[in-house]
Structure 1
Amino acid sequence: MRGEIFINSSKKIPVYVLSGFLGSGKTTVLLNMLEHCKKKRLQPGIILNEIGQTNVEGHLFENQKVFELLDGCICCTIQEDLKETMNVLITEMEHSPLDVLFIEGTGVANPMEIQEVLLSHPYTDQFDLMSIITVLDASNYLEYQSIFSSSTEVRNLIHEQMICGSLLVLNKTDLVPLNQLESIKQKITKKSKQEKTIMESVYGKIDAELLFEKRIHSVTIGKSSLDVEHHHHHHSTLQALKLEDCPVVRKKGFEKWLKHLPANVLRGKGFVEIESSHQLYSFQYASRKVAFTPVPAALNRKPVIILIGLGLDTEQINDHWKQLVKQ
């Protein structure tokens, strides 16, 4: 029933998996869902997965029960770590109960692999998979689908994420003209090859009742619609590059630097100190757009830049960085 999204007679913990390509807005959707939990006084648990060795978004989840899986991807290199984390959760819930669990995969995770863990013993006895929410970036969707501006592995991955999603959130619709938006929705429907609920959003805002609705009702979900043989290899060229010892930067110069990075840099995030502000800012770079947020000094973060992309030329990016530093 709508409106009773967290209640089920089996007393299992409801689980929501957030999927979507790099920079689509998964974390923003998750933060909105957590805000709803706060209003309802529900205790959430969060599993965050990062490709690199550093999670630069941890400060967004202060005072939350968070488990971080770093330097890998749930769907391949650290799937066993996910199981271990779930085991810890089961043990800890004896003393610190949860009302709901969120799992955010990396931008290159295939949610089918996460689903397999949740539907296997002993996790299926403790957790109830409610929905796999796949977030799509409306502003980049057509570019990612183009054979001229995208790679086969990116197109395949987004296709897999769409097929696995029980709810598709088409985010960043404010960045797309109305006529183009209709075209994108038609293409998504055609690509999905089955009827999917598509919800449009700006900054990941969706009606909470719809977002939390139970959309997965079967305990056995087959893989016949997917070519599972290549799941463990479809993002072999994806890399996370970390730049440390970052000097103070000028805001406009840094924005310009990000926007002139090679096209295969799909995502950027981290912390930088901005000249004349004497303060650290977290930054998010996606869809050729940059957003800055002040970081409280009490968090004691250090400047660091994480760039994620396909087949990155480390030497080229380091040279690019040196040019910015010299300015």
Structure 2
Amino acid sequence: MAGSSLDPCILLPFSQAAALPQDYECDASPGEGTQALAFPRTHAPASVTCAGDRDQLSDQCLQDQVSDQHLQAKRARVESIIQGMSLPLTTPAFGTSLEATSGHERQRGSEMPWESKRKLKVPQQGTGAAGQVALTGGSPHAEGCQQLKEQLCFLEQQLRRLQEKFSQIQEALTPGHLKKAKLMFFFTRYPSSALLKTYFLDVQFSRCVTSQLIKWFSNFREFYYIQVEKSARQALLEGVADTSALRVSRDSELFRALNTHYNKGNDFEVPGQFLEVASLTLREFFSAIRAGKDADPSWKKPIYKIISKLDSDIPEVFKATGCSQELLRS
């Protein structure tokens, strides 16, 4: 009886029997079973510590990558603003090495798991190997991050200089110049840059100022043609058949819409030649729409060509500084 094998489930309580090693079998010898009970298999605590250090190292790397991505995104926004201002972007000498370093960091960031990007742990500095790595400097990653910050600072300075230039342009063209340009539209619809320089003598011209003035007249023409086309379609709906009956007078609805836009307050007397040009434009739109030419996307171009040849001379009084007040008094 003493030499036979004993069932550990009989000798031990149920809770202890359930904790027996997995390699214990019913056909094992009594000595082997005793050794299995006396020396259970456990993992070394050192491996747990190493795993914790690896987690902290991984978290530190992820934080560095997120910081780099933030700086790169900020740099990209500044570059896009500068490029949108149509001015050349000059970068310092360290740009080449910086691009290589930032490209390497972007590649590493793309390989990072999505779950790790979404939630990061805050590492405890000064604990274990992770704290020692965080305190040590001079790594290629740290150098690339420093270069990225320097280039970002350079781009921000260049952006401030560009903003100052644009603010000077805005100061050069005042609301008085805009009102003067609107009154000039009664005489010319397609002014050249040379003509604009002749009549805006108090403005220091640059490429941006010239572009702004040309843009003003482009907006004036757009509003003009929209209003004339609207009147032409309204005449067709009313059953007008004879184009000679289409005339723009000072009492017409079309003239009131145009005069309110270009001559707000009705302070300036619109020249009669502008009424003739508006009447001709109305008849051209009416004829083209009645003939079905508006089905062609470029049906307005022949009308633009005709109207561009009807510009008249601008009075000399427009060349004087502060001519808006003189025109209103006359």
Q: TM-score, normalised by structure 1?
A: 0.21
Higher alpha-carbon Rg:
2
Q: TM-score, normalised by structure 2?
A: 0.21
- Could you say which structure has the higher strand fraction? 1
